[in-house]
Structure 1
Amino acid sequence: MRHIKGKGTSMMRKLMIPMIVVLLLQTSLFGGSIILGGILDQMNQNAVDILNERVINRKNYLENEMIQRWSKLDDSVQSIQSAASQTLAAKGASYAEIENNPALASEILEANSQNVIYMLRKQSVTGAFLILDTDRAGDKKAGIYFRDLDPLSNADDDSDIMVEVAPSEITQKLGISMDTNWSPQFDLTQTENTTYDFYYKPYRAAQEYPDIQYGDLGYWSRPFRLSPNDIEIMTYSVPLRAESGETYGVLGVEISTDYIKKLLPYDEIANDKTGSYLLGLHTADDSEMLVFENLLANGPVYKQQIGGEETTSFALQTQYGTCHQIQKQGNMTKDVYGCIQYFQLYNSNTPFVDEQWGLVGILEGDRLFSFSEAMRKTVLIAVGIVLLIGLLSVVIMTRIVTSPITQLVKKVRSSNPHLPVKFERTRIAEIDELASAVESLSSNVAESASRLSAIIESASVAIGAFEYRKDEKTVIYTKHFFEIVGIAHDNEKDYGYTDADTFTQIMQGLKDCLESIEPEGAKIYKIKDALGQSQWVRMKLIEQGDNKIYGIIENITQEVIEKRKIEYERDYDLLTNLLNRRAFYARLDQLFLNKDQLKCSAMVMFDLDNLKYINDTYGHDFGDQYIRCMARTLKKYAPRRAVISRVSGDEFYLFIYGYAQEARAFSAIQNMREQISNTLFPLPDNALFKVKASAGVSWYPKDANTYEELIRFADFAMYTVKHTVKGEVRQFDRNEYQAGSYILENSEEINRFIEEKLFEYHFQPIVDAHDGKIFAYEALIRSKSASLITPQEILTLARSQSKLYQIERLTWFNAMDAFANLEGVEGSCHIFINSIANQTLSLQDLALFEKRYERYLSRIVVELTEEEKQNDVFVTLKKEYTKKWGAALALDDYGTGYNGEAMLLYLSPQYVKIDMSIVRDIDIDEDRQKILSNLLSYTRERGIQVIAEGVETRSEMDTLIRCGVSYLQGYYLGEPAPHAAQISNRVLNEIRQAQREV
């Protein structure tokens, strides 16, 4: 063998130096790109944006409560002023006499006590008050003040109300308990600590601005106490003016600060419940500071850092927009930030417009920017660890790489196929030694086998190698070869020989176990070991000319298992073993590449009901079991062509496809809902709890052509169910989906509709089925608005703007005005007025209505519509005052909406109107006739008259008369008109002829 003398550069040094340089460059680039690349600043901005969005949402909610609910006093102001005027008129007195006439003031207060209680209930506030200016030169004022600290629940007997201020004789008449701080009159003596602005500011503003309406003189007070021992409250109050313009008192509502704090849940600001909300009043700002007077606050940050400070100052110069750093003061030990959002409580050019309220979400800086700070520290630590590990790895790896080569050189130098290899030290450079060794052993097959075996044995993984020489029909292999391919072999040498036939049989056996081929050409085989366990091996072949084939085979079982575990955890929800959101979308991407296979498909979104109850009552472990129970039920009863996923805590997606008809797909969905409802979940107390889920369904291709839209529509349908009747399945309705945008676009139109009275009333006759005479007219509203066409649109917008009461009042008064002016109406003819089931007139409006339409009261039939679900209290009131008038009740649209058998039993009306869906085609549909027959059998025994509405053909009319209905209504008999329409002689004769044939 020929040696190459001389010294060269060590391989270890050549490997280490560039590897260390590359390692340093990589860690520097990685750390610098994270810390200096603006990522941390963006994280900080994202944290601020999240906090600001939460403050905006909470501000909008509280502002809506203050403006749209608590301060809507128009109806109450009118009722109280009307009652005051009537009392003064009855006494022949004027508003000026209230000041020096305590008895007169007491009568006015007594006349308005129910109005104030009604205002307390209607506005859902913790208190309501009326103060009269009875001591103009002093501070002792007559008034009444009622309080209910739980406005969300009302007692029928007013037992939940306490009297704070009222003359004793009024308290005795009302039968309402007095609070411990009760006083017979208001003592508004102003002190250094108490100014009673809630009375004096709106009162004086009314005197200073006589041309401004009282609604623009309303004032929101700072928190204060009515008396030293009283609770802390905030108020909204407006001045009361006589018709002559004289200010005679103040009317207002109270909201306790404890109640407002409940509406400011600080735990929503940060997950660890460390944030705070501050309600403040903007008092001053300059080029550097923005100052707020602290009105009320809750949450740990405020208590720990700001405490009892009267004001809070914010630095105006900030890089985070509406988020400002709070100036350190008092007990502050940390940097604190606040996101400010302002309220719009007052109109422009009004007396109190400069009092600007704001809501501030407060969080400590280390918590607000905790994620970015943790990221910065993590990156620095990671860079240090990676650098340290990298350096150690470079040293170790270079030693591992060079040591076997050095040993191989020594082994090759002294190798003998029949003797053990012995290693000796050398001073020759590694690369030169390896080249010399290769030259020396190139012609010796045994020496080649020994070299290959030594290299493979030095590896840390199980690797086998072989060389197949076609001309010699022999195979040289390393000792791990048979072990890896799963064949028992007793050769303990580093290498061995076998014949070509045996090798061919081994390769043929592997061919039958082929699982996959990698892009670079290596083949993956799945085989069984001696114990029958699955093993995976990778083989790569290299052909050298036409005569030699080299192969390397390695056991990659652990690699395959780890890879599949990673893929499973990537694609599946670990709690339920269902697809996660990412994998669900990936499956849908594949399905929607070939839309022909979809045919009729359905996207179903299930929302698991009662999960919060399970978590709160039995703990989150049982909540997880409840979720897994739902997942098992879905997998068990899902159709064959279905993709199921859990996308969040209690939400599941199901996509079923390949149906020829929508009905079959929906039947499968209904079956799943029934199976879910029939599934019982065991609880710790040996009770069985029914699993319940709400579901929304959207259809391909009817509703949408992309799965993104299908998911959005199914989500909308599901949340519609959650807000109506939980546990049901609801299909997507595009009209409902578009209703949201319709309401936004027409929010102002309902105000014009009411204020300008953009409507008129038409009257449709209701005919006696026995003699054809007109029994009554139904008053039907007809819109003159270009945007609001149908009654449904009017009610939808009124509901969204909390103006259903105004629609109810307009209906009663304007419908009766129109009816009273009809010509040609007999004196006994009745009038049907549509009434909203969850609305009723106030006591003041009822009194005015009775007085104005006294001669018509006994002819009124109150027709309860199906548009709104009934309010038991209001329905009871309607039953009482119709009985008082000698009037009647009618149940409208029987058989649809909320108006079914349960409503019929509860209401016990004098009339029942059959919906046109039952009347339509009743002459040819025996099922509809059967429904009508059953209803008539029930109503005859109870003296209830049945009215069939929507009659459009003579055949329908004849069938209804033959069945025995009492009255008829519809276009066949007479269309709605602004005048009193009459029945034609032809129809009159047809009715009489049908009666003769009965």
Structure 2
Amino acid sequence: MKKRSVKSKSILKHILVPMCILLITEIVILAISVYAGGIVERLEENSRDILQERVINKKGFLENEMNNTWSDVTLLAETINTKAEMLEKQGIISIDQLDNGSNEASPLIAEIADDMIQKLRSNRVNDIYVIFNNHDLDEDVSDKPGIYIRDMDPASKASNRNADLLIERAPASIVQKLNISTDTSWTPLFNFGKHEKDYYKFLYRPYQAALKKQKNYSLGDMGYWSANNCLDGTLQPFISYSVPLIDTKGRVYGVVGISILEEYLTTLLPNEEINGSGHASYELGITTKKANVYSPVLDSTLFDCTSNLTLLQKEEGYYVENSRDEVYAAIETLHLYNTNTPYLDEQWTIMSLIKDDDLMAFSHHINISLILAGLITLGVGMLGCVLISFKLSSPITSLSKQLKTQKKTDGKLQKTDITEIDQLVDSIESLNQNLLDSSRRFTKIIQLASVKMAGFEYDQEKNDFFITDNFFSVFLQDDIDSSLMTYEGFSQKMKEMSPYIKKKEEHKYVYHLPKDNDIIFVELTISWFDAHHVIGLAEDVTERILEQNIIEYERDHDALTGLMNRRAFHREMQILFDEPEVLKTAALLMVDLDNLKYINDHYGHDSGDTYIRKATEAFVKYSPSNTMISRVSGDEFYLFFFGYEDEEPLRKLLMELKHGIDESYITLGKYETFKIKVSGGISWYPKDATTVKNLQLYSDYAMYKVKHTCKGIFANFNKTDYDNDSYMSRNRAELLKLIETESLHYYFQPIVSTKDGSVFAYEALMRSFMPNLKNPEEILNIAKMESKLGKIEELTMFKAMEGYQENIKNHYFDENTKIFVNSIASEMLSPEMIAKFEKTFEPYLHNVVIEVTEGEKMNETLHQQKQKFVEKWHGALALDDYGSGYNSEILLLSITPKYIKIDMSFIHNIDKDNDKQKIVENIVSYGHEGGMLIIAEGVETVDEMKQVMKLKVDYLQGYLLGKPQMKSASIPNEIVKLIQSLNARR
């Protein structure tokens, strides 16, 4: 059959076609990388993420304003309750009759008007109002008295004469008294019955919730946000927050609240910050149980706000339903209510709406740019391929034409001026001669080599077999004549020698051949050139293997005892642990020679080596043959027992081993005998551990536990002891790191005067950010155990004062405020540290108050020294946590402090506990008689603060006044005013 010829191509095509294919492939790969890699999709996703982030930021702003600023009316409600009850006691009003008309409500309105205006200013809201009602709003519809004040621009500076305010609702007498202008829509009452109009939601919802469910909720939980409100006669819609008015008897008599005009709210949500296209807007919405349907709160630029807004959820996000354009919605939920409120059916949201084309404008631009860049690159690349291919193929094409036209007698070819092509002809001419010379040289080298080497070659396709004359002599069979041997005879002889093969690898065999009570090692390497052609090389490698065995033995064995060293033992253990069925039940014994140091010191190291060898002999003699024994260091050994069905036979073997060791001894000098003494720790597989690392760790721990207790025994690993020691070890390490890096921080909690609510002092409180040691009490306990209390005392004094000094320099603290620093009763700064302390903080020493904790054991000498330095500084002493110990009165008499800090256990719920009130009253009376000042610690509620102020404490400290912070935080204005009000009544 005639072979089909392959059509040849010119070199120009050979170069041009692959280059073009390569170029097109690169363009395709680039396109796939860009589009399959999702770059455009990620750009689109990034645009959505940026929009979502803006909505999240705006959500955080609104939540802060609505939850913390605008809706802050709880204290105002308490103030109204206080004044209402006061007027009722005076017979001026009746809380039960307040909604009978303006005459009944006017005295209370007049009393609270200034408080409402002040709250309007401080909360930065448009409106503030109070509506009085004493009846179930579901029974009838009637006009209600109250007051409604409006500030059209709360962001502008307030007028001293309230000229910027308008009265929307209030009795005429109140208008005249306040001298504030009325709006054009002013009426003296809230007109509901007159127009047969439903009550406003900001009145109805919180009032009815309080009337019917107040026992289930706190006052804050009944605060209600309402939307789309509008007073009769006005055109300004607003959102409102209101809480019910409930006196101490549980009577609900109205609501108090604030309002934000939607016009002002719109200025806080500028659409321009979303996108420069002009087709985007912020929207507020309210959703109920129906998912993705929102009642709009603000007017929308992209949809009609008079109807509900429905969002469709797609894979990319939310889109507006029934919109002419694709409008994308980024939405976040505002958390305005706690979980325990009566308004969980309403959920406020903020969203940003933008046309999808505007949102994705940048990614679309990038997509078009990539396509244009790819097309331009392809065109320029194709042109370059043609030019380069023509340039490369021209010299070779010219040479080819010469070869076709040139005669054999013409001599050399014309030079192409291309070095590689010009060298090609010369290389071909000299190739054969070089190959011949190389073959001769290699043959000579093999003949001169001192290594015994032989080989064979077999071509199966030609049935051609060659073997060197000395091949079988390498295998110690000099009587075999290989000159006439066939491949079949050769194969038969090699099969007869197969029992001597001791090691097999891929294409390599090692033979162990006996010779004169010794072993000769021969390595046979087989190599296939193709499926039919094989070559073999036999080499005497005895010397190399013996040297390798010596090196491996010295590497893996201890020179003194001949036992495995640590590295070899670990390697063999890893091999064993890969076969759990071989391990079964096992035990790792770590042994330490008890008296090796004594022998080395008193009899010399030669005797110590004898002691080690004798111990090794005992280990080997009294252990089963399958036991792995290793010397891991000078006097430490591992013995690994494995392959047992359960622990019982192993325990007997360990007892026999210990008995055998105890009976072993060495002779020192001429007559003195010395018994072998060892201590050991045992860890069990698989009971204690299933890994080599843990098994060694646990046996080490058990052995060292024995060494530091009773010595001379074998002890089992105890997990409980190990965990306890590990815990202490970690904490000790962390304490040392804490001290070394000075990683203690000090936060400052204000101490407030009961006279005017001003900050009198700050207490420095220890804080740690270490992984385990975070609790100050735990730090002090560990430091005491480690004798590091002195370092903690030093860190406390310097770090606390450094923070105090920094706050004064940054104007966070007033330079006259006191600083209370906790001192450890059993510790005192060294004279050098005291000198450094006085030099560093000299301007502030008179403000230092050293706190002595009642629970600490008092060191009388150190206390007198501290008192001496405090007097020198013109500072003071304070007794901390008074009442928490059993010797409170004795300690108080012994240290004579200027300040007594009553323990927070007496302050907690003191308003409900008569016994605590009596105790605190006695402490205050005793302290004041002795010229001491009283500080109530742990004040957390308004009722607790009121009670301790009744008992005439001098200062307050607790979370109600301020939490510990690195910098000062202002005391809440409502608390300051309440303190001033309560102090005026004392």
**TM-score, normalised by the number of residues in structure 1:** 0.44
